[in-house]
Chain A
Amino acid sequence: MTSLKKLLLGEQGLVVIFALAFAIVSLTVPNFLTERNMLGLLQSVVTIGIVACTMMFCLASRDFDLSVGSTVAFSGMIAVMASNATGSIVLGLLAALVCGGFVGLVNGVVIARFRINALITTLATMQIVRGLALISSDGRAVGINDPGFYQLALSKFLGVPTPIWVMGVLFVTFGFLLNRTVFGKNTLAIGGNPEASRLAGVNVVRMRIWIFMLQGLVCGIAGVLLASRITSGQPNAATGLELSVISACVLGGVSLAGGRAAMAGVIVGVLIMGIAENVMNLLNIQAFYQYVVRGLILLLAVLLDNLRSVAAGRRG
């Protein structure tokens, strides 16, 4: 019993749960373990997966970002509108990145420099940015003029769609950033004890601004890919994304109290979210029930986080 507990609450606990879930699902759900379904599954988690990379940094430094869903929708919209207007897909991409980065910069400056609570700040920007997306499109979907734009989502490399490659590259990049760079270590240190980090010479304000900016940039990337996949800029796209992303991170062992994060965990967390949805679709479970299941998964994730903290003997 205790060894089982240790296994589930330890560092590798999540991987164990994932492996178990994967094996059970593969054996019991028809059509699950096929190349086609696997690629579909991965493609369905691209948005969550990409945004989770930076959300992990955000949470690890004891911050929070609710504005990601709106930013993804807004930057996707901007990408479509800018490329339609200029006739250049590259300019559209750049515009989306600038847009996402700017939202992140605003978040970061307000939160870190003016010391406003991250939850409140991003709750505000979440609504502002969603509003901007609706205003700029007059509330309607904006169609893509240049068919080349579709290719971002449709093109394949070695049989795997580009968005999945992008997600993979970002996983590797941010995993490296977290584990092998001063930036990553400082992120974890800030989350562990912000004041002690500051007194140890870490520029906490600048770090936090950078983290939010990266978050915004990455939302820009996710927005472009999403727009390309749904072949238009949709002002109502990616609603509720922030919750899925945070769920995935927490499920992946990122502590909401800050100071603890692992890229591998987050990837597994993302996949668990994806599998749950994919399986429910394969089993023809009504969409209404999917909300309940998603909520339950989040609840379970937080409980697991709490149990793990208690097991690790951490206070607070």
Chain B
Amino acid sequence: MQDFLEFKSISKGYPGVQAMSDVSFSVRKGAVHGLMGENGAGKSTLIRVLSGDQAADTGEIRIGGEQQVYKSVRDAFHAGVIVIHQELQLVAELTVAENLWLGRFPARAGVLDRRKLIAVVAEKLTEMGIDVDPAAKVASLSIGERQMVEIAKAVMVDARVTALDEPTSSLSSRESEILFSLIDRLRANGTVILYVSHRLDEIFRLCDSLTVLRDGKLAAHHSDISQVTRDQIIAEMVGREIANIWGWRGRPLGSTRLQVDNLTGPKLPHPINFTVRKGEILGFFGLIGAGRSEMARLLYGADTRSQGTVTVDGTTVTADSPAHSIRAGVVLCPEDRKLDGIIQGRSIEENMAISSRRHFSPFGILNPKKEGELADTFIAKLRVRTPSRKQHIINLSGGNQQKVILGRWLSEQGVKVLLIDEPTRGIDVGAKSEIYEILYDLAAQGMAIIVISSELPEIMGITDRIAVMCEGRIAAEIERPDFDERRILAAALPDISNANVLPIQQVQSR
């Protein structure tokens, strides 16, 4: 069969990052094509370009030999491209049938043809084996049922290309099976399906062919998936040359500084246990949704713990709020700086002093001189690039904002444990190295540091030990001498044995 969907030299850059460079591959008609890669490898970028959400800088997409030019998601939709995102895009207050007709309601002289509205949908749903009432409001459906409705939408409009982004991440095993049979049906209709997933077993179960992306480039293309092994795919996902921007160096480690026992919370039901020594940098790696940030937030008291004890230097910390944690010497630089880190509209100075000013403000009365000195000290020490400490923090680059937040905690003096979630997300390479250097300095002074990162090279580059999280548990702990990309990634990927997927008609044992 001829190639039906073709990507030709697609490149796409965002400010400061080349998200995708020169990616070309093609998919046959009626094929399910897997798309794999680490977080940030460029899968989402490719899907965004395909869906018309964002235009590629260069390159073209061809469907059935015709070049596609879209200006919007709507154009792509009319060209027969349907993208089913992780966050579903149904109108909750409308019925299933209404959602499926949305944008092209059957009507006569502007009056809704209600009978047709329901009848056609009912027929289609039965045909697809989806057991959902067309008159039910979407709000009353389970997540899995909603996903089915989304896919029914793709079938209803006779999509030529359907892309699914991690569709099973919120489905039960039974729902996944229904989803897979729907995908089989779409395939039989001759639709091209692009299937993004982290789950290798699903890729093998469903896909005919596979593309692996890495750092925004094409890492491998397999037109016949039966010729590939699981290990080979993992190797292709990680196989990169490591440039030494990390500058890691060993340092003596002291006694246990932080001990976490049986930590659980509403979003993290399995008990978490680990320790960090004085001067140690412990990395937490895992896929998005593995529970790393949730763990950090529980530890910090940002979310309420269900159970568990946190001990710092032998003293139990009863942290039920960030304020308590800070007083016990445990601080957090949050993952989403804009949402949870910076106080927009206030100055660098105020952002830095927000916590530590209580030490030098007798009876709650400010000491502006001291505050200014403090800000200037840390602006110099952390090399924050700014004309003055009065600058609004929103005007700084990501790297400099991160430094201000680090300054906020360093000015606290007594910090013993630093949690830093995605320390260099959205930060350019130069500033990255500076932030790593700051972390090494702090560790050398005896601080216990926990780094959470989705970037495998970063976590391997800067930490002394890695705890790999997978589906809310620590799946492996690996010391620096034993760092191995494949081993880490294999531990991070959900396994068939605990992935909650039905017994699969395994293709072959691999």
Contacts and interface: CB of A to CB of B under 8 A. Distances in A.
Given A183-B364, A185-B354, A199 B345 contact: no
B5 interface: no
Contact of A201 (B322, B334, B364, B366): B322
B345 A260 contact: yes
Given A199-B340, A200-B322, A259-B346, A189 B334 contact: no
A192 B322 CA distance: 18
A197 B365 contact: no
A55 to B, nearest CB: 19
Contacts of A198: 302, 321-322
B339 interface: yes
Interface in B340-362: 340-346, 350, 353-355, 357-358, 361
A180 B361 CA distance: 10
A191 B408 CA distance: 19
A228 to B, nearest CB: 32
B317 interface: no
| Interface size range of chain B in the complex | 20 to 34
Contact of B366 (A181, A195, A202, A203): A181
A108 B64 CA distance: 63
B346 A200 contact: no
Given A200-B408, A202-B354, A314 B345 contact: yes
A247 to B, nearest CB: 22
Interface in B306-349: 321-323, 325-326, 332, 334, 339-346
Contact of B354 (A183, A195, A200, A203): A200
A299 interface: no
B340 A196 contact: yes
Which of A196, A200, A203 has most B Cβ within 10 Å? A200
A222 interface: no
Interface string B362-397: 001110100000000000000000000000001000
A88 interface: no
A189 B344 contact: no
Nearest to A198: B322
Contact of B355 (A180, A193, A195, A200): A200
Contacts of B300: 199
B354 A181 contact: no
Nearest to B361: A182
B366 A189 contact: no
B354 A180 contact: no
Contacts of B358: 182
Contact of B343 (A183, A189, A203): A189
Given A181-B365, A203-B321, A196 B345 contact: no
Contacts of B321: 198, 203
A80 interface: no
Nearest to B350: A185
Contacts of A195: 339-340
B334 to A, nearest CB: 6
A202 B357 contact: no
A259 B341 contact: no
Interface in A181-217: 181-183, 185-186, 188-189, 192-193, 195-203
A185 B332 CA distance: 21
A199 B322 contact: yes
Interface in A269-316: 314
A57 to B, nearest CB: 14
A185 B357 contact: yes
Nearest to A260: B345
B344 A201 contact: no
A202 B323 contact: yes
Given A189-B350, A192-B346, A201 B326 contact: yes
Contacts of A199: 300, 302, 322, 332, 334, 340-341
A188 B339 CA distance: 16
By CB atoms of chain B within 10 A, which of A193, A203, A314 has the most? Answer: A193
A207 B365 CA distance: 16
Contacts of B302: 198-199
Contacts of B345: 192, 259-260, 314
Contacts of A201: 322-323, 325-326, 354-355
Contact of A192 (B323, B334, B344): B344
Contacts of A196: 334, 339-343
B392 to A, nearest CB: 9
Nearest to A193: B343
A199 B337 CA distance: 11
Contacts of B326: 201
B346 A188 contact: yes
Given A195-B339, A197-B354, A203 B346 contact: no
B364 A181 contact: yes
B332 A182 contact: no
A212 B325 CA distance: 27
A203 B355 CA distance: 11
A176 B339 CA distance: 29
Contacts of A183: 364
A260 B394 CA distance: 14
Nearest to B367: A180
Those 5 A-B pairs whose CB atoms lie nearest each other, nearest first: A192-B343, A201-B326, A201-B355, A201-B323, A182-B364
8 contacts: A183-B364, A185-B350, A189-B354, A193-B343, A198-B322, A201-B325, A203-B321, A259-B344
